[in-house]
Amino acid sequence: MKKNLQLSLALLASIAIYGQEYDACGNIETVPYSTNFSSFLPSCWDEADYATITDGPSVFGTGGWAVDGFNNNGTTGAVKTRVRWAGKKDWLISPYLDITPASSTGSYSVSWDMAFAGHLGTTFQPLAADDELHLLIKKQGATEVWTSIAVYDDTTVLDDAGETIIIEIPAAYNGSVIQLAFWIDEGTNGYNAGDGTYSDVDLSIDNFQVIETTAANSCDPVADLDEDFSSVIEPNLPDCWVSLIGTTAVNDDAEISSQSLYANSASNALVIFSLENANDTTDESIILVSPEISNLSLGTHSLSFYAFSENDDIIVGTLSDPNDASTFTALETVELSNDYSADGNYVEYNVDFTGYTGTNSYIGFKHPRIEDTPSFIYLDDITWQVDSSLSIGDSIEDKDIKIYPRITSENVYVEGFEFQSANVFTLTGQKIAVQFSGSMIYTNKLSSGMYIVQLTDLNGNNYTGKFIKN
């Protein structure tokens, strides 16, 4: 059965290479784009032979790719190359793809089915130690560079039937016309039939597609979060979560993705990976951004999450724009447990937002980027909920102040606090106009539900409490 393959972060590469500007037919395809390789080559695709990634493709129209059945099942419907000879370097190049209609919260992914099998067989066989398959990307333009965003080698393991690979296109390419390519390097060692020293692998590819993975402006503000990342196919993020990575950070190896390895609960966790080059003096951001939160400044909620890291802390803050790192304001640096083990070692952390009075509406988790040090931060089970310390009717400042009755079908009263103004909010942050007289607040017309009441006296002192309206 085909399934999603989580690409090990250790295999990710960011190799910048210059390549000749080339397009097989001059067309620019729109996204979503897909081809099932029912014909070879598909419209506006091309191949090139014996071209290194340093030089880029220059001689087109020949190569080691050919039509065949996927994973040697049948003889048509997929593309295949035989990986056995020394020194072969073959390109399979897509048309130009327009991802300029990217929404402010949009992201794009490329996916394809892939299988490695022994020559003419259907059982998985790994590549040889010096063989590699790269997925490359470049922007349109003769001076633009090819960049490797995924690498598969002798450590890659696939199901016998093949698997579906899903790779998120780095955010730095949003708003561009791009081109993608598969590049196979057969290394320096050829196949030795006599002693079987080197592998002879049929590499199949099918069902190639590029899609927008987050719809434009489809995310409504939320009043609470309970995210365990179990609803996504790795390495994607849940809807309305944003991976905010600067351009230099992309080139230095940086990624935010879901993966099943080391999940604290359910099936997936979230990993933030960074390797900053020691020669890079820029302060690029790597920030995981939450969906928009409607009640961030209401003063009633707290943030909870589970995390561990081998050598990092994490900076929790807020943003006004989920796509602009410059709007990030740090709230607290959380010192993470570095008791790293093979199975992970999660610790629960809490960040108190009850005193937050800012105007931002997004929560950000920022990687500190330790210079020239590979680092992983694992996050799971992120929640945004009413702070448990704000029990119904109790003051966050004075336990002698009371709102009663705690559960009512009529009006509520305040004892022990002479207030001059009263504001009532729903748990989603919506302000409800109410009137009051003396110690009584007129709540009898409110709909059923839980409410937050904020009171202020003549000296500017505040009291916050809760009640339930039947």
pLDDT digits (tens, 9 = 90+) for 298-333: 777 889 999 988 777 899 999 999 988 889 999 999
pLDDT at site 373: 62
The two three-digit tokens of residue 325, written as one number = 């790192």
Query: What mean pLDDT comes out for the span 254-279?
Result: 78
- Across the chain, mean pLDDT equals 80
Nearest to 87 by CA among 226, 185, 170, 3: 185
Torsion of CA 23, 172, 381, 157, to 10 degrees: 40
Domains of the chain, each with CATH number or no CATH = 28-212 (2.60.120.200), 225-390 (2.60.120.200), 402-469 (2.60.40)
**Cβ(215)–Cβ(106) under 8 Å?**
yes
* pLDDT higher than 70, residue 428: no
Is pLDDT larger for residue 21 or for residue 221? Answer: 221
pLDDT at site 276: 57
pLDDT digits (tens, 9 = 90+) for 180-201: 999 998 877 665 554 455 678 9
Query: What mean pLDDT comes out for the span 85-89?
Result: 80
Query: What mean pLDDT comes out for the span 80-93?
Result: 88
Q: What is the DSSP string of 100-144?
A: TT--TT--EEEEEEEEEEETT--SB-PPPTT-EEEEEEEESSTT-
Q: Within its chain, how far is the Cα of 453 from the centroid?
A: 37
Q: Amino acid letter at 383?
A: T
* pLDDT higher than 50, residue 216: no
Is pLDDT larger for residue 38 or for residue 374? Answer: 38
* pLDDT higher than 90, residue 124: yes
Query: What mean pLDDT comes out for the span 90-99?
Result: 93
Minimum mean pLDDT range among 44-48, 124-128, 288-292, 456-460? 456-460
Is pLDDT larger for residue 96 or for residue 392? Answer: 96
Q: Amino acid letter at 262?
A: Y
For 464, residues 6+ apart whose C-beta sits below 8 A from its C-beta are 299, 300, 390, 395, 396, 452, 453, 454, 455
DSSP 435: -
Confidence of residue 2 (pLDDT cuts 50, 70, 90): very low
